[in-house]
Every structure is written in structure tokens, then in C-alpha cells.
Amino acid sequence: MTDDVRFGVNYIPARDWLYSWLDWNPDDIAADLAAIRALGCDHIRAHCLWPIFQPNPNLISRSALARLAELVDIATDLDLDVHLSVLNGWMSGTYFRPFWQEPSMGVYSDPDVIGAQVRLIEAIAEIGYGRTRLVGIDIGNEPNALASFPGNGATRQQGDAWLTRLLAACDDALPGRFHVVGVDHVPWLEDTSVFSRDVLGRVGSASIVHSWVYFTGALERYGVEGLGTHHLARYLVELARAFGETRERPVWLQEIGVSPGWLRGADVAEFAGSIVTEALKANPWAMTWWGSHDIDRRLAGFDELEYDLGLLTVENEVKPVGLAVADAIARERNRDGKPQPGAVGERVELTLPDDRVPDLSFADEFFALVARGAHPVIVRESRAEDLIDRVRLADSAAQGGGR
């Protein structure tokens, strides 16, 4: 690992989607990962499917674990790191509720469910022993979304306790790795989430943001060509950084993507290249596109937008959007750490009042500063003096290098 931004994809197997854990073909997996590596990626975010890996609270599938180990080994041979999302849960717009989880068994609060979750994490952690390219465990894909399903309602106190407990289990089972919780935009932009921004900025190895111009409402608010649409990821990274214990805490842009159906005739490849370029101005720890491959249309039941989010087709052909993202990766890598004059403007502190939700109305103030050529740094009101000093010290130390 280096201090340079990492680039990767959320791995969606070209053949059979995540159902490929059931009908496993290592040759297909190797072909997919080779195509991903050819894009210039250095990592994948791989996803378990919870009902497959844990069909009973006291049974972890041995075949699924073996296939997971093989996936990591194939990735290692191709010089790819693997970040593993475990309690999924919520994937591609569908709730894959474990077969044994009754509606009365809350995912965040029921002791038996939490015990089962810990057992799955512990079993998967054993795969990591001796496999250093398994960088760490992500508790689950957008686990805050599970709160909207019957039986999973919980208080924010219960939600924060849950993610703190499971991240501790990751650290206990696989110490020294990069463990996170893969939340979506809701906990950052709204006050309705089961998780709090303060805890998300403190626990785990990094703060996580998912940037979707459609689901956040940015596309509707600003339009396809709007500055707020193209700089949304930049805003989310800076927002998450403001809630970190220090400004040096990594922020991982774990999902960013676009559906052609959202752009009403606009050039999807050009749009993708733009949102990647603008996101880089916030200097995320890593950027991970959603997703690697399209979903095969013979698989029924997904929302229409889910089928065409890949950089690659199901035949492993690079799409124009894949070429655009690969080009953006290559440009960044070719900088060799040298600053790009004019890439970002003068740093300007933007104070977030303690009683204000940092939704898109607050983001409007951020985008107004960007439009003036500034580089906004979000500072929470209660920590403004301390964090402004930190920013100025970091700027002073960075003279002559870095973004």
C-alpha cells in the first residue's frame, strides 16, 4: 500500500451475479478479475451473500468459505487486494434476509442474531490468516438500509452499539487489518439513520461514503450538468472528513457510479470521467466504482437501473464508461504525486453549525464556494478552532507536494 489514492471496483461476477457462490467456476472468476486488473484497478470490494454463507445461525457454509478463499487467492495472483463485505443483506436493491431471521429477530438488537453475525465474521476472518491481500472486513453493504424492513427497527443508540460491537469483533478475529462499515449516504445527509455521524467518524479504520447522484437527490436538484451533481462525491468525502476524530482519518469513497437511464441522452462516459476527476479533489483514501460488470439480463427481478452499472459487459468487454474510468485512473497514476496547478483552489473553511443537518441545502453553500474557485474545507462548529489549526498545519507541511 502507498499514500496514493487506491482505485478499484465493487466486484459483480459477470456470470450469475452473486449467485455464483452457489455455482462456482474459478476460471470465470479469474477471467473477470483479469479484466478488472487491466482497467488499472488495484483492489476489489467483494460481497458475500448472507443467506448463502450462513444458512442457519449455527452453520457457516464450508463450501462458501472454500470458494471465498479461492477468490482471494485468484486476486492475489493478479496483484489485486480484496476488501470483503460480509453481512449482505442489502444488495442491488434487494433484501436477502437470512432464511432463519424471523421478523421478530431484529438485526441490530436481537442477541441471538448478533451472536450469529459474530460467528460468521469469525469464520470468514480465518480466511485472512496468511492471506495478506485480504485487506479487511466490511461489516456489510449499506447495513443501515436494513432498518427499513419489518422487525429491524432500532434506536440510534442500538444502531451505534451494533456497529461498534461488530467492528470490535472484526478487530478481535483479524487484528491489524482495515475493518469498516459500508454505510450509504443516508447517515451523512439525514438525521433519520440508525447510525450517527459522530460514531461513523470514530469507529473502524476509515469513514465510508457512497456517492449516487440519483439516490441522494442531487441529480434532481442540480441537473445533469449541474456543479452540485458533478461535485457530489467531493462534498461527501469532505463531509465525512469533518466528522473524523482527526482530518488525517481515511475517507473511502466506497461506491460511486451512474446509470445511463438517469442522464437523458448525455454522454455516460464523459459524465463518469467528470465525477471521478472532481471526487479526486477531495483526496479520498480510495475510490471504488460500482460495479465491475453489468448484470446478465437473463436474471430476473432486479430494478432496470441495476443491469447496466458495470464498467465491463458480461462478456468481459470494456464499455465506453469503463474506458473513461480507466483513463481517469491512468491520469492520476501518471502524476507521480506531483500537484496539479489550479486543480483545486484556495482552502476556505465552511462551518457546519452543530444544530444543522448537512443535507443538500448545506451542500449548496459548499458548491457555491467551489463555483467561486475555492476548495471548501468543512469544519464543525464545536470543533472549528482545533480543526482549522490542523488544516493550516497540514497545508504548511504539504507545500511543494500532494493534492
CATH number of the domain enclosing 135: 3.20.20.80
Please say whether the beta carbons of 83 and 141 come within 8 A: no
| DSSP count for the chain of H helices, then E strands | 14, 12
* Angle, helices 268-280/232-242, rounded to nearest 10 degrees: 30
Please determine, for residue 175, whether its predicted confidence score (pLDDT) is greater than 90: yes
184 domain residue, yes or no: yes
Question: Would you call 96 helix, strand, or coil by DSSP?
Answer: coil
Average model confidence (pLDDT) across the chain: 91
User: Count of domains in the chain?
Assistant: 1
Please determine, for residue 2, whether its predicted confidence score (pLDDT) is greater than 50: no
402 domain residue, yes or no: no
186 domain residue, yes or no: yes
**pLDDT tens digits for range 215-244:** 999 999 999 999 999 999 999 999 999 999
Question: What pLDDT does 383 receive?
Answer: 75
377 domain residue, yes or no: no
Exposure letters 226-262 (e unless 16+ CB within 10 A, then b): bebbbbbbbbbbbbbbbbbeebebbbbbbbbbbbbeb
**pLDDT tens digits for range 317-373:** 999 999 999 999 999 888 765 555 445 678 999 999 999 999 999 999 999 999 999
**pLDDT tens digits for range 157-170:** 999 999 999 999 99
Exposure letters 45-72 (e unless 16+ CB within 10 A, then b): bbbbbbbbbbeebeebbeebbebbbebb
pLDDT band at 4, cuts 50/70/90? Answer: confident
More reliable by pLDDT, 70 or 334: 70
Among candidates 352, 293, 235, 366, which has minimal Cα distance to 39? Answer: 293
Per the listing, cell 488499472 goes with: 40
Least confident of 2-11, 15-24, 154-163: 2-11
The x, y and z cell numbers of residue 211, run together, are 456517492
388 domain residue, yes or no: no
144 domain residue, yes or no: yes
154 domain residue, yes or no: yes
336 domain residue, yes or no: yes
Question: What pLDDT does 402 receive?
Answer: 38
DSSP secondary structure, 297-361, as one string: TTS-SS-GGGGG--SB-TT-PBPHHHHHHHHHHHHHHTTTT---TTSS--EEEEEE-TTS--SHH
Containing structural domain, residue 158 = 6-340
Residue 271 CA to residue 110 CA, distance in Å, equals: 44
**pLDDT (average), residues 249-274:** 94
Please determine, for residue 265, whether its predicted confidence score (pLDDT) is greater than 80: no
Beta bridge partners of 17: none
Question: Would you call 242 helix, strand, or coil by DSSP?
Answer: helix
More reliable by pLDDT, 296 or 337: 296
